[in-house]
A and B are shown apart, each in its own frame.
Chain A
Amino acid sequence: MGHVKEINVLIIVFTEMRDKLRKWREDNHRNSEQIVDVGEELINEHASKLGDDIWIIYEQVMIAALDCSRDDLAWTCLQELKKQFPGSQRVKRLAGMRLEALEKYEDASKQYDSILQDDPTNTAARKRKISILKAQGKSAEAIRELNEYLEQFVGDQEAWHELSELYINEHDYGKAAFCLEELMMTNPHNHLYCEQYAEVKYTQGGLENLELSRKYFAQALKLNNGNMRALFGLYMSASHIAASPKVNATVKKANVKYAAWATNQINRAYQLAGRGTKENKCSVKAVEEMLESMQITMS
Chain B
Amino acid sequence: MGEVELSCLAYVKMYLHACLFPRCSVNGLLLSSSPAGGAVCVTDCVPLLHTHLPLAPITQLALTQVDVWCAQTQQRIVGYYQANACVSDSSPTPCALKIADKIAEQCNNAVLLMIDGGKMSPDYRVPPIVMYERKDTRWTLKDKHTIMLRQWEETRDIASQLLDSGDHSLLVDFDSHLDDITRDWTNQKLNAKIAELASPANASSIALPPGGGTVSIVTFTWSSSTARGRQQNINSLSINHILLENSPEWRNNG
B126-165 interface code vs A (CB 8 A; 1 in, 0 out): 0000000000000000000000000000000000000000
Interface residues of A in 149-175 (CB under 8 A from B): 165, 168-169, 171
Q: Which residues of A contact B179 (CB under 8 A)?
A: 228
Q: Which residues on A sit within 8 Å (CB–CB) of B189?
A: 279
Contacts of A169 in B (CB 8 A): 54
Q: Does any Cβ of B come within 8 Å of A200's Cβ?
A: yes
Confirm or deny: A247 has a beta carbon within 8 angstroms of a beta carbon on chain B.
no
Q: Is the CB of B68 within 8 A of A280?
A: no
Q: Tell whether, in the assembled complex, residue B55 and residue A280 are in contact, meaning their CB atoms are under 8 Å apart.
A: no
Interface residues of A in 244-299 (CB under 8 A from B): 269-270, 273, 277, 279-280, 282-283, 285-287, 289-290, 293-294
Interchain CB contact (< 8 A) of A290 among B57, B65, B182: B65
Alpha-carbon distance A154/B221, docked complex (angstroms): 60
Nearest CB of A to B231, in Å: 39
Contact check, B52 vs A287: say whether CB atoms are below 8 A apart: no
B72 at the A interface (CB under 8 A): yes
Q: How far is the CB of B57 from chain A (nearest CB, A)?
A: 5
A203 and B89 contact, CB distance less than 8 A: no
With CB as the reference atom, state the residue of chain A lying closest to B58: A229
Q: Does A202 contact B (CB under 8 A)?
A: yes
Q: B216 interface residue, CB < 8 Å from A?
A: no
Interface size on A, residues (CB 8 A): 36
**Contacts known (A236-B60, A293-B68); A269 close to B181, Cβ less than 8 A:** yes
Q: Is the interface of B mostly helix, strand, loop or mixed?
A: helix
Do residues B64 and A290 form an inter-chain contact, with CB atoms below 8 A? Answer: yes
B186 at the interface (CB under 8 A from A): yes
A289 B94 Cβ-Cβ under 8 A: no
Is A273 a contact of B86 with CB atoms below 8 Å? no
Q: Is the interface of A mostly helix, strand, loop or mixed?
A: helix
Contact with B along A187-215 (1 / 0, CB 8 A): 00000000010111011010000000100
Q: Fill in one digit per residue for A100-118: 1 if any B CB lies within 8 Å of its CB, else 0.
A: 0000000000000000000
B60 touches A286 (CB 8 A): no
Contact B52 A228 (CB under 8 A): no
> Are the C-beta atoms of A280 and B178 separated by less than 8 Å?
no
Given A282-B188, A289-B72, CB of A137 within 8 Å of CB of B55? no
Taking CB atoms, residues of chain B closer than 8 Å to A199 are 52, 55-58
Residue B185 lies at the interface, judged by CB distance under 8 Å to chain A:
yes
> What is the bound-complex CA distance between A237 and B65, given in angstroms?
16
- The CA-CA distance from A228 to B175 in the complex, in Å, is 10
In the complex, how many residue pairs between chain A and chain B have their CB atoms under 8 Å apart? 86
Q: Residues of A contacting B186 with CB < 8 Å?
A: 282-283
Given contacts A279-B189, A286-B68, contact A229 B178 (CB under 8 A): yes
CA distance A124 to B111 in the complex (A): 43
Given that A280-B182, A286-B69 are contacting pairs, would A203 and B177 also be in contact in the complex, using a CB cutoff of 8 Å? no
Contacts of A171 in B (CB 8 A): 54, 94-95
B65 lies within 8 A of A286 (CB): yes
B55 to A168, Cβ gap below 8 A? yes
Contacts of A221-248 to chain B: CB distance below 8 A? 228-229, 232-233, 236-237
1/0 per residue, CB under 8 A from A, across B165-209: the answer is: 000000000000111011111101100000000000000000000
A12 lies within 8 A of chain B by Cβ: no
Q: A137-B86, A232-B61, A289-B68 are in contact. Are A283 and B184 (CB under 8 A)?
A: yes
A10 at the interface (CB under 8 A from B): no
Q: Is the CB of A277 within 8 A of B57?
A: no
Structural contact, B177 and A283, CB atoms closer than 8 A? yes
Task: Name the CB-closest residue of A to B179.
Answer: A228
Q: CA–CA, A228 to B185, complex, Å?
A: 15
B55 touches A290 (CB 8 A): no
| Among A196, A203, A236, A277, contact of B182 (Cβ-Cβ < 8 Å) | A277
| Contact across chains for A137 and B88 when beta carbons are under 8 A apart | yes
Kindly state the separation between the CA atoms of A135 and B84 in the bound complex, as whole angstroms.
Answer: 12
The distance in angstroms between the C-alpha atoms of A165 and B185, with both chains bound, is 25
* Chain A residues with CB under 8 A of B88: 137
CA distance A210 to B220 in the complex (A): 53
Assess the B57–A285 pair: CB atoms within 8 A.
no
Shortest CB-to-CB span from B190 to chain A, Å, is 11
**A13 CB to nearest chain B CB (Å):** 21
| B57 and A233 contacting across the interface, CB-CB below 8 Å | yes
B61 touches A236 (CB 8 A): yes
Q: Which residues of A contact B52 (CB under 8 A)?
A: 165, 168, 196, 199
B181 touches A228 (CB 8 A): yes
Alpha-carbon distance between A213 and B56 when the two chains are bound, in angstroms: 12
Chain A residues whose CB sits within 8 angstroms of the CB of B183 once the complex forms: 280
* Shortest 8 CB-CB contacts between residues of A and residues of B: A203-B56, A280-B184, A286-B69, A282-B186, A273-B181, A279-B184, A199-B55, A273-B182
18 new A-B contacts at CB < 8 Å, known A232-B57, A282-B186? A30-B23, A135-B86, A137-B89, A165-B52, A199-B58, A203-B54, A203-B55, A203-B57, A228-B178, A228-B179, A232-B58, A280-B184, A282-B69, A282-B73, A283-B69, A283-B181, A286-B66, A289-B72
Please list the residues of chain B having a beta carbon within 8 angstroms of any beta carbon in chain A.
23, 52, 54-58, 60-61, 64-66, 68-69, 72-73, 86, 88-89, 94-95, 177-179, 181-186, 188-189
